[in-house]
Each structure stands twice: as C-alpha cells, then as structure tokens.
Amino acid sequence: MLKNDRYIKAALSQSVDKTPVWMMRQAGRYLPEYREVRTQAGDFMSLCMNPELACEVTLQPLRRYDLDAAILFSDILTIPDAMGLGLYFKAGEGPAFRQSVTTENDVKRLFVPDVSDKLKYVMDAVSLIRKSLNGEVPLIGFSGSPWTLATYMVEGGATKNFGLVKGMMFERPDLMHKILDILARSVTDYLNAQIESGAQAVMLFDTWGGVLSTANYQEFSLQYMQQIISGLKREVNGQTIPVTLFTKGGAGWLEVMAESGADCIGLDWTIDINLARQRIGHKVALQGNMDPCVLYSNPERIKQEVGDILQRFGQGNGHVFNLGHGIHPTIDPENVKAYVDAVHELSVPFHL
C-alpha cells in the first residue's frame, strides 16, 4: 500500500491535495553522493548493471528532497546493448555502440532480447528498489522509444544531424520499419517485465521524436509507441499502472499524442502549459514543464517560475510537476530543494 500515491493519482487525472513533483534524471551527477557511488562502480554501465548500486542512487534524491516518486536508475540504451551491439560511453561524448545497424544484414541480426536473461540486472534493480522504498512513494520504470533507440543504433551513438538514421528512413523505409517493429516488441516486453518486477508506473522517453516531420513522426515514432502502450500490463492487484509518453520537441503533435492510449503526456519547456491544457488536458494528464536552466538561478526566482507554471495550468487535477527535460549535472542541489518545496507549498490552493 502506497503511503504517498499523489503521483499515481495525478497521472491518472484523479484528485490530489497538492501537485506531485519529481525530476527527470533526479538521480544523477548533480548530487555529490551519486558521484561517489559512480566512482565506486568504476564506470556508468557497471553502475547500471549492479542492482545494489542502482538501488542506492535511485534512493539518494529521496533522502534529500520531498519527491513524490522514484524513477529507476538505468539507461535508455539497455535494450540495444542486450541485442549485442556493445554499448559503451565515450568520455565527454556520450553513448556509443561498437556495432551499429546500417545494412540489411545488420538488421537481420537484430532480435527481441530475453528480458529474464540479458536484462535480468534491470529487473533485479526494480525489485530491490521497490522493496527498499517500502511503500513511501511509487517507482517509475521507463524505456526509450523505438525511434530514439533506433537513432542511436543506426548512427552508432549520439548525433547532431541524424543523417544516417534519416537517410535509412527515406531510402529504405522497409528496413527502418523492421528495426522499429523489433524494438517495439522489445520495449513492450521490457516494460511489462519492469511492471511485473515492481514498477508502479512507466514512461516512454521519445527523446528524438521532435527531429521528425509531422508525417514521419506519426509513421516512424508515434505508431510504435501506440503499439507498445496497447501491449502493456495496465493493472496490478487492482492498481492502475499509469503510462506517460514524452516526446521532446513534440508540442505540435499533442492532439495525436493524447490519442496514443497514454494516461499522461510529458511537455518540454517550449510550450505554454495553459495552451497544452486547452488542447488536450481534458483527455490526459500533463507532466512538466519548467525549463531545467531555471535551476541555475536562485530560490526566489525558482519559486516565481514554479508559481507561474502552476498558475498557467490553473485549477484542478491532472498535473505532474516536472522539468521540461532532465536536470543538468552542474545544478546546485540546494536549488532543487527550493524547486520541490515550492511546488508543494504553492500548489495547495489549486486543489481546493
């Protein structure tokens, strides 16, 4: 039984006493205690693949702040790594794969990983985190979207112009659809396994959906996220499992995202949350959407921005307060406390 179910209720557009708050990447490099554990682990993937250490860093922000949810500490690229592509991290450059997916033969070698084998370390972490939380707050599981995962797989790592992945999309859409179908089936299995292991909500991170045109977004990103959502286990022991869909740069497609089957739509900071609520807020809950860089300012300015966003969302339920993307690693931890406390303090009148 959850002692604090505010996040679950808000994601399902149910009544709450105050707006719940958490942060994307809330377990991360901005916390000195995280940096200590990462040093202990040796490298990022060793940290992700150690359930005890992954549990520890998941819990760290909850010890500092009055957050309304925990999110599994892991990486969005665990699925392609489990496919044998050899995920590693270049210092200062981000993720990369030893084997990219650029030819028809590369695509033929792809497979849906056995989550009980190749991704068991993730499920072990989920189980341990859920047990360690002891019902204090819910645990959010997550995955990257098929399009986002495919982007890294085809490009071989991070990219700025998306030339390889878009080149394949335009020249060989048949290959791209094969990749995306395999990934959609993989993500469905992966998220369902997280739910079975103890995740009480799940989120799809469509980090790179916003680089597509409207037609291509619907064909190569959204339809596969819809496929995943339709295949998810949505109830455990009588409790609904909320699903959040977040497309960075997706403000132009809110209406079709709201028809995806997700319970909650994540917003980046480039859209006014009032306009988003007018467009889709009666169909789904909204998550967001403070610019992460506001946290570089000071407690007074942070509180002002929190109040402005709450005011723009307005009276009523269906709002999960979050940043519009992940917290930056050089943020002062004390400013995070100001952000979390301001949401709880200022949101009460909006739920009376």
Residue type, 306: V
The phi and psi torsions of 149 (rounded to 5 degrees) equal -65, -40
- In the residue annotation, 30 being an active-site residue is answered as no
Three-class secondary structure of residue 94 per DSSP: strand
Q: Show the tokens assigned to 63.
A: 């010890």
- 3-state class (DSSP) for residue 225: helix
Specify the pLDDT at position 261.
98
To the query of whether residue 312 is one of the catalytic residues in this protein, the response is no
Active site residue 29: yes
Closest by alpha carbon to 217, among 116, 272, 162, 147? 147
Which is the catalytic residue, given 5, 30, 65, 75?
75
CA 102 to CA 146: how far, in whole Å?
A: 16
pTM above 0.95, yes or no: yes
pLDDT tens for the chain, residues 1 to 352: 899 999 999 999 999 999 999 999 999 999 999 999 999 999 899 999 999 999 999 999 999 999 999 999 999 999 999 999 999 987 777 899 999 999 999 999 999 999 999 999 999 999 999 999 999 999 999 999 999 999 999 999 999 999 999 999 999 999 999 999 999 999 999 999 999 999 999 999 999 999 999 999 999 999 999 999 999 999 999 999 999 999 999 999 999 999 999 999 999 999 999 999 999 988 999 999 999 999 999 999 999 999 999 999 999 999 999 999 999 999 999 999 999 999 999 999 999 9
* Options 65, 152, 224, 339, the catalytic residue: 152
Beta-carbon count within 10 A of 153 CB: 27
The conformational region for residue 316 under phi > 0 = left, psi -120 to 50 = alpha, else beta, is left
**Rounded to whole angstroms, how far apart are CA atoms 55 and 74?**
10
Domains of the chain are 1-25+286-352 (no CATH), 27-64+69-248 (3.20.20.210)
Reply yes or no on whether 130 is catalytic.
no
Contacts 24+ apart (CB under 8 A), 189-193: 189/112, 189/113, 189/115, 190/78, 190/79, 190/113, 190/115, 190/119, 190/122, 190/143, 191/141, 191/142, 191/143, 191/228, 191/232, 192/231, 192/232, 192/233, 193/115, 193/116, 193/119, 193/122, 193/123
DSSP code, position 140: E
Q: Name, in order, each residue with C-beta under 8 angstroms of 134's C-beta and a sequence gap of 6 or more.
A: none
Residue 182: C-alpha distances to residues 152, 192, 232 (Å): 15, 16, 16
- Out of 29, 234, 279, 301, the active site residue is 29
- Tell me whether residue 25 is one of the annotated catalytic residues: yes
CA distances from 337 to 62, 295, 316, 344 (A): 11, 10, 24, 11
